[in-house]
Amino acid sequence: MPAESNHASVNAFKVAAIQMASGPNVAGNLSEAKRLIARAAEQGARLVVLPEFFAIMGMKEQDKVAVREIAGTGPIQKFLSDTARQHKIWLVGGSIPLAASVPDKVLNSCLVFNDEGQQVARYDKIHLFNLSMGNESYDEAQTIEAGNQVVVVDTPFGRIGLAICYDLRFPELFRAMKEVDLIVLPAAFTETTGKMHWEILVRARAIENLAYVIASAQGGYHVNGRETHGNSMIVGPWGRILDRLPRGSGVVMAEVNPSYQASLRTGLPALQHRKISC
Catalytic residues: 52, 125, 165
The amino acid present at 201, given as its one-letter code, is L
Strands (DSSP E) found in 32-89: 45-49
User: Do residues 112 and 47 lie in contact, with contact meaning Cβ atoms separated by under 8 Å?
Assistant: no
Strands (DSSP E) found in 218-263: 219-221, 227-229, 232-235, 241-245, 250-256
The count of other CB atoms within 10 Å of the CB of residue 142 is: 12
Task: Return the exposure string of 7-30: e unless at least 16 CB atoms fall within 10 Å of the residue's CB, then b.
Answer: beeeeebbbbbbbbbbbbebeebb
Measured on CA atoms in the order 261, 264, 265, 271, is the torsion positive or negative? negative
